[in-house]
Amino acid sequence: MSFDEKSAAQWLRGHAGDAPPALMDAMLAALPAHASDSVADALAEGALGIYRGLLHTAGGREDALPLLAADALLTHAMEAQAEADPDGIDEFSRRWGAAGALALLTPDVPQA
């Protein structure tokens, strides 16, 4: 079963509805337009998209909101995965986290 952007947006609004409007807007805007395998994957894809964009900025104050949105999306992705399949958290974090997709954003950095 795949989930579309609308499903991920609905999940996000239901779980982070009290987020400041600018943060919610940034998170929603980052969600992928294509279908993902799960809400958790869609949220993680959104986070990585933001992180990827931040690699090419000056690193100033203007990056604070996007960085916060990316961190929040990755955190919510873990929450969504835990809700959907608690036993799959380890595999999910390996796939998306510092040893997985996140590490691939900066291939020139030595991996531990």
C-alpha 59/C-alpha 71 separation (Å) is 16
Pairwise CA distance, residues 63 & 47, whole Å: 14
pLDDT digits (tens, 9 = 90+) for 22-78: 999 999 999 998 878 899 999 999 999 999 999 888 889 999 999 999 999 999 999
Read off the pLDDT of each residue in 67-92 and give the average, rounded to a whole number.
Answer: 96
* Statement: residue 4 has pLDDT above 70: no
Buried/exposed 46-72: b ≥16 CB within 10 Å, e otherwise: bbbbbbeeeeeeeeeeeeeebebbbeb
Answer whether residue 1 shows pLDDT above 50.
Answer: no
For the whole model, what pTM was predicted?
0.87
CA angle 62, 64, 3 (to 5 degrees): 110
| Domain ranges within the chain, ordered by starting residue | 5-104
Q: Is the pLDDT of residue 16 over 90?
A: yes
Angstrom distance (rounded) from CA 81 to CA 45: 13
Please tell me the distance from the alpha carbon of residue 84 to that of residue 55, in angstroms, as a whole number: 31
